[in-house]
Amino acid sequence: MPALPTPRRLILLRHAEAVPPDPGNFSVESDMARPLTHNGERAAIRCGMWLHQNGLAPDAVLCSPAVRTQQTLAGVQSALPPASPDTVLLCPEIYEAALGALSNALRQAPPQARTVLLVGHNPGISEFARWLDSRNEKLDQGFAPASLAVFEMIGSDLVPDPTTWANCDSMSLTLHTFTRP
């Protein structure tokens, strides 16, 4: 009897706490350049430790190119095994993303990836999570900085596995865990 595959998982992570915007400078460049605070750096590492402790090392990452999301990812990676992830894609469409952009970004995940980490911003991450599992009350609290939502793809633990990231939609995933480590 063949072993069941591990379910496909999507991990949504809002970047950790960043320094406030530069007063009077409302440019995209200024916002993209905002780094994490010291507390944000520590929170990113805690997120990585939580993922490691729960056996959730991503094998693919989709990340906004903003400094604060990349620093959040670096903190997460510092707490994960050195081999993960296999693929890191900086996706400009994740910055200030609407729901459709995040859904399209997810569809670009490598088909062999079992666990995908998407690092982004609010309100997009929160709206995407609600779209994926609109009935889960845990998501009503919104996404504070460094919040994680772990979704499992329905049917991805079957043999043969009929699921792919390319055909993922709001009926494909269900919330497994929502936390702020």
* Distance, first Cα to last Cα, the chain: 38
pLDDT of res. 28: 92
- Tell me the whole-structure pTM to 2 decimals: 0.94
| pLDDT range class, residue 156, cuts 50, 70, 90 | confident
Is the distance from CB of 84 to CB of 59 less than 8 angstroms? yes
| For residue 58, cis peptide bond before it (omega within 30 degrees of 0) | no
In sequence order, the 6+-apart residues with CB closer than 8 A to the CB of 166 are 107, 111
| pLDDT range class, residue 2, cuts 50, 70, 90 | low
Nearest-CA neighbor of 125 among 66, 59, 81? 66
Question: All domains of the chain, ordered by start, with CATH?
Answer: 9-179 (3.40.50.1240)
In sequence order, the 6+-apart residues with CB closer than 8 A to the CB of 150 are 9, 10, 11, 54, 56, 175, 176, 177, 178
47-61, 64-78, 133-147: range with lowest mean pLDDT: 133-147
| pLDDT range class, residue 84, cuts 50, 70, 90 | low
| The dihedral sign for the CA sequence 63, 140, 107, 93 | negative
